[in-house]
C-alpha cells in the first residue's frame, strides 16, 4: 500500500471487540503481533495474516515499524464483522523501503511492532446499513474491501464497487470479490475498469457507470487522479460533496515509534526562565481524568504520552486523525492540520499531536 493514509472526518478509533491478544511493546500503545500466513495476492501485492485480536473499525490501518527505525501504515483488508483474522495487504512501490521489506523479507513467524489500528476512513454509527458506493484503484482496494465485507456481513444496504486497475493480472482480491458477489446477489455489484481496455479513468468516462449510484454514500480510495475524476463525475451527477469521502496518502517523515522525551518540569510557580507559565490540561481519556501541566510549546500528545496516558496516535504529523480529540473548555491552536475541515474545527475537534494551549486552562475529551 502507499505509505500512509487519512480521511477528513474524525471517527471513534474502533467498536468494541475482543481483548488484544498481541503483546505490549515498550511504550504506550505499541504492540507486538506475529505473522501467521503470507499470501501472494498478485505479482506485486502481498497479504500478511496476523495472529492478533485488536479492536478496529472497517477501513482502518495499522502503523508498522520497519527496519531502520521508520514506519509505514497499511490498511486492513479484513473485516471486524466476519470473524476472519486480521490481514494487511501491501503492494510494492518502486523504491519503497517499507513495501520492499514486506514483499521480499517478511515471513510467517516473524513478529511485527505496530501501533493500535487507527484511521477515519470508516462509516460512523449506522453507516453500514446505508447503500454504499465504493471506488478503488490498485492497492486502494484494501480498506474498500474491508468496508464492503463489513457492510455485507453486518449491514442491510446494497454495495456497488468500481475497481480500476492496469490489466486483469493486477486485480488484487479478484477471486474474493467474485465470491462475495456470488454470495450476495442483488446486494453486491462489482464493476471493473481496466486501463488496458478502457484507458485511464476520467471524469467523463466514469460519468455513466457512477451516475446510477450518485445518491449513495461514496468512499474513494486510490491514486489522486482517480479520486479526482470520480469525485467530479459524482458531483456532476448530483452527489452531495459531504457524502463523498476520500482516503488520502502521505509519507511519514519521523519515527512515530520514538518515545517523546518527558517535558522538563517548570520552574517555581510554573514559570520557566523567559517563558510563559505552563497551562493546565484536564483530559478525559478511557474513563480517567488527567490533570497535567502543559508547557506552551509542547504538543498535547507529547504531554500525555510522557505522563503514561494511553493517548491514541499514528502519524504525529497532523496528517491523520488518529489522535483527534475535542476541546470542551478553553482554547488551543494547531501547528499543522491537513485532515480536519472547517466543520470539524467549528465542533471543537483538534489533533493532539499538533495542539498547543492558548488559555491557562484547557479541558479535552476523547470520544
For residue 19, tell me if it sits in a domain: yes
Candidate from 14-28, 134-148, 159-173, 190-204 with smallest mean pLDDT: 14-28
Q: Do 136 and 172 belong to one domain?
A: yes
Candidate from 15-24, 93-102, 136-145, 146-155 with smallest mean pLDDT: 15-24
Please compute the mean of the pLDDT values over residues 184-196 and round it to a whole number.
97
Q: What is the CATH number of the domain that holds 346?
A: 3.10.20.30
Q: Do 179 and 67 belong to one domain?
A: no
More confident residue, 252 or 47: 47
Question: What is the band of 340 on the pLDDT scale with cuts at 50, 70, 90?
Answer: confident
Candidate from 53-62, 69-78, 93-102, 268-277 with smallest mean pLDDT: 268-277
Q: What is the CATH number of the domain that holds 26?
A: 2.40.30.10
Percent of the chain with pLDDT over 90: 66
Helix (H) or strand (E) holding 182: helix 174-183
Average pLDDT, the chain: 86
Please compute the mean of the pLDDT values over residues 308-319 and round it to a whole number.
83
Q: Which domain holds residue 63?
A: 5-118
Q: What does the DSSP 8-state code read for residue 232? A: H
Q: Do 227 and 287 belong to one domain?
A: no
Q: What does the DSSP 8-state code read for residue 320? A: S
For residue 144, tell me if it sits in a domain: yes
Q: Do 232 and 288 belong to one domain?
A: no
Please compute the mean of the pLDDT values over residues 171-175 and round it to a whole number.
98
Q: What does the DSSP 8-state code read for residue 143? A: H
- Predicted pLDDT at 271: 43
Contact 305, 316 (CB under 8 A): no
Candidate from 117-121, 192-196, 207-211, 304-308 with smallest mean pLDDT: 117-121
Q: Do 27 and 107 belong to one domain?
A: yes
Helix (H) or strand (E) holding 173: none
Q: What does the DSSP 8-state code read for residue 157? A: S
309 burial level (CB within 10 Å; 0-12, 13-18, 19+): middle
Which of 118, 150, 177 corresponds to the end of one domain? Answer: 118
For residue 214, tell me if it sits in a domain: yes
For residue 259, tell me if it sits in a domain: no
Question: What is the band of 38 on the pLDDT scale with cuts at 50, 70, 90?
Answer: very high
Contact 283, 290 (CB under 8 A): yes
- Predicted pLDDT at 253: 56
Q: What is the CATH number of the domain that holds 203?
A: 3.40.50.80
Given a cut of 70, whether residue 260 has pLDDT beyond it is no
As a whole number of angstroms, the distance between CA 95 and CA 146 comes to 27
Which of 73, 89, 118 corresponds to the end of one domain? Answer: 118
For residue 261, tell me if it sits in a domain: no
With cell 472497517, the residue in question is 58
With cell 481496466, the residue in question is 194
Given a cut of 70, whether residue 117 has pLDDT beyond it is yes
C-alpha cell at 355: 495542539
Note the pTM of the prediction, 2 decimals. Answer: 0.77
Q: Do 9 and 74 belong to one domain?
A: yes
Q: Do 151 and 177 belong to one domain?
A: yes
Cβ neighbours of residue 45 closer than 8 Å, sequence gap 6 or more? 89, 90, 91, 92, 103, 139, 172
First to last CA, the chain: 28
Q: Do 135 and 168 belong to one domain?
A: yes
- Predicted pLDDT at 261: 52
For 314-324, write each residue's pLDDT tens digit: 778 887 778 89
Q: Do 81 and 150 belong to one domain?
A: no
For residue 264, tell me if it sits in a domain: no
For 91-100, write each residue's pLDDT tens digit: 999 988 899 9
Report how many domains make up the chain: 3
Which of 118, 135, 164 corresponds to the end of one domain? Answer: 118
Contact 108, 59 (CB under 8 A): no
DSSP track, 53-98 = -----TT-EEEEEETTTEEEEEEB-S-TTS-PPPEEEEE--TT-HH
Q: Do 344 and 291 belong to one domain?
A: yes
Q: Do 211 and 316 belong to one domain?
A: no
As a whole number of angstroms, the distance between CA 284 and CA 326 comes to 10
Please compute the mean of the pLDDT values over residues 290-311 and round it to a whole number.
93
C-alpha cell at 50: 496476523
Please compute the mean of the pLDDT values over residues 155-178 and round it to a whole number.
97
- Predicted pLDDT at 251: 58
- Predicted pLDDT at 13: 37
183 burial level (CB within 10 Å; 0-12, 13-18, 19+): exposed
For residue 260, tell me if it sits in a domain: no
More confident residue, 255 or 162: 162
For residue 271, tell me if it sits in a domain: no
Contact 302, 323 (CB under 8 A): no
With cell 503483546, the residue in question is 23
24 burial level (CB within 10 Å; 0-12, 13-18, 19+): exposed
Given a cut of 90, whether residue 69 has pLDDT beyond it is no
Q: Do 152 and 87 belong to one domain?
A: no
Amino acid at each position: 500500500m502507499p505509505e500512509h493514509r487519512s480521511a477528513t472526518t474524525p471517527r471513534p478509533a474502533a467498536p468494541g471487540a475482543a481483548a488484544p491478544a498481541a503483546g505490549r511493546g515498550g511504550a504506550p500503545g505499541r504492540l507486538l503481533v506475529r505473522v501467521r500466513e503470507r499470501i501472494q495476492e498478485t505479482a506485486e501485492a502481498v497479504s500478511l495474516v496476523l495472529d492478533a485480536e485488536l479492536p478496529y473499525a472497517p477501513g482502518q490501518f495499522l502503523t508498522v515499524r520497519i527496519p531502520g527505525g521508520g514506519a509505514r501504515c497499511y490498511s486492513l483488508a479484513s473485516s471486524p464483522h466476519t470473524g476472519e483474522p486480521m490481514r494487511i495487504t501491501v503492494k510494492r512501490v518502486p523504491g519503497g523501503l517499507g513495501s520492499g521489506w514486506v514483499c521480499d523479507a517478511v515471513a510467517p513467524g516473524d513478529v511485527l511492532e505496530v501501533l493500535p489500528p487507527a484511521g477515519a476512513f470508516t462509516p460512523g454509527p449506522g453507516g453500514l446499513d446505508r447503500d454504499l458506493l465504493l471506488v478503488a484503484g490498485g492497492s486502494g482496494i484494501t480498506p474498500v474491501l474491508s468496508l464492503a465485507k463489513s457492510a455485507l456481513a453486518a449491514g442491510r444496504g446494497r454495495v456497488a464497487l468500481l475497481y480500476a486497475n492496469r490489466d486483469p493480472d493486477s486485480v488484487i482480491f479478484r477471486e474474493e470479490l467474485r465470491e462475495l458477489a456470488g454470495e450476495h446477489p442483488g446486494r453486491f455489484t462489482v464493476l471493473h475498469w481496466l486501463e488496458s481496455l478502457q484507458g485511464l479513468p476520467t471524469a467523463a468516462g466514469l460519468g455513466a457507470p457512477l451516475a446510477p449510484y450518485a445518491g449513495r454514500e461514496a468512499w474513494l480510495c486510490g491514486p489522486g487522479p482517480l479520486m479526482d475524476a470520480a469525485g467530479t463525475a459524482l458531483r456532476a451527477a448530483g452527489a452531495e460533496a459531504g457524502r463523498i469521502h476520500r482516503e488520502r496518502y502521505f509519507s511519514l517523515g519521523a519515527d512515530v515509534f520514538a518515545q517523546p522525551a518527558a517535558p522538563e518540569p517548570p520552574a517555581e510557580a510554573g514559570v520557566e526562565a523567559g517563558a510563559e507559565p505552563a497551562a493546565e490540561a484536564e483530559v478525559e481519556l478511557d474513563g480517567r481524568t488527567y490533570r497535567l501541566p502543559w508547557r506552551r510549546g509542547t504538543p498535547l500528545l507529547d504531554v500525555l504520552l510522557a505522563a503514561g496516558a494511553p493517548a491514541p496516535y499514528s502519524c504525529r504529523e497532523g496528517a491523520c486523525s488518529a489522535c483527534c480529540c475535542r476541546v470542551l473548555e478553553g482554547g488551543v491552536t494547531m501547528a499543522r492540520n491537513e485532515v480536519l475541515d472547517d466543520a470539524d474545527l467549528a465542533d471543537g475537534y483538534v489533533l493532539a499531536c499538533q495542539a498547543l494551549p492558548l488559555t491557562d486552562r484547557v479541558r479535552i475529551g476523547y470520544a
